[in-house]
Amino acid sequence: MSVTHQPGQPPQKQEATWMPLVDTIPGCPPGLEYLTQLDQILIEQQVDLIEVLLSWECNNKYRVMNSMNQQCYYAAEKTDSLMRLCCGSDRGFKIHVVDNSGKEVLRIRRDFKCCGGCCWCADADCAAHEVIVETPEGEPLGYVRQLPSKWKGHYGILDSSRNQMMEIWGPCCGCQGLCCRADVEFPVRSMQDGNIVSKISKQWGGVARELFTDSEKFSVTFPQDLDVKVKATLMGAVFLIHFMYYEQEESHNS
C-alpha cells in the first residue's frame, strides 16, 4: 500500500474503510473518543518499497484499526535521516497519531539515550528506554518504561504522575520464522492483584511478510471500559516493543 503523510495532514493512500465518527465525550481527551468504543486495536506497519528494495531505513508508518479492520487512526514516525542511520533501533523518535480527518490527536515520543536498552541496568534513568504518551499540546497521559530484568523484556505502564499501574513481561526472544509461526504474546498484568488485564500480541504475518519485509502487525486487547488514557498508553507500549524487539532485527538486517 502506497502511503505518504505529514503530521497535521490526512494520509494519502488507497481507499480504506473508516470507523464511524464518535461524538465528543466529556472528560475524554479530544480525538481519543474512538478508543472508548473498542476492546481491541490492531496496529499494522506499512510496507515501504524503498526499505524492501534498498535496505534504507525510512520513517515508520502504521495503520491503527479496530477488530473489523476499520481504520480509526494513522501513525507516522518523524525522525531525521542521520538519527535513523546512525542509531538504528535505539534512535529517539516522535510518532504523530492522527485521526481520519488528519487532525493530530496523540503524540508518542522517545528521547535518545546513548546508553539505553541494557536490561541489567534499566533501573538507571540513563539506561532505561521510555516512551511518553501525550496530547499534541504536550500534556502527558502516561509513560511506558523499560524495567530491570535478567534477559526478558520487562516494562512498566505508568500513569501521568508516574505511578506504576501495570507491568509487561515479554519473551526472551520475539523471533518468528519458518519454524516458529505462532503469535508472540506480551501479557499485561495489574500491579494491584497480578491479574492479566490486557495483552499485546505480535501477530504472525505469513512467510512472505516475515521474511521479505519489515512490516509488523500487532494487536492489543483490553476491557472496553478501561480508562481511555490507559488504552492510549498501551498503544505507546506497542511502539516501544516494536522498536526494542523487532526494529532491532530490521536494523541489523539492513
pLDDT at 144: 98
What pLDDT, on a 0 to 100 scale, did the predictor assign at position 205? 61
Backbone angles phi, psi at 48, to 5 degrees: -115, 115
Q: What pLDDT shows up at residue 178? A: 47
Model pLDDT, residue 6? 52
pLDDT at 42: 96
Contact 235, 43 (CB under 8 A): yes
Q: How far apart are CA 173 and CA 35, in angstroms?
A: 30
* 3-17 residue pLDDT tens: 444 555 555 544 578
Cell matching residue 130: 521510555
- Domain boundary assignment for the chain: 33-253
The parts of the chain modelled with pLDDT lower than 50 are 1-5, 13-14, 52-54, 178-179, 207-210, 212-213, 249-254
pLDDT at residue 217 in the model: 92
The C-alpha cell at 36 is 472508548
| CATH of 33-253 among 3.30.465.10, 3.40.50.720, 3.30.460.10, 2.40.160.200 | 2.40.160.200
pLDDT score, position 107: 98
| pLDDT confidence of residue 15 | 57
Residue 9 pLDDT: 54
CB 167 within 8 A of CB 149: no
Encode pLDDT of 80-120 as tens digits.
888 888 888 889 999 999 998 899 999 999 999 887 777 77
| pTM tops 0.85, yes or no | no
Sign (positive/negative) of CA torsion 250, 186, 173, 164? positive
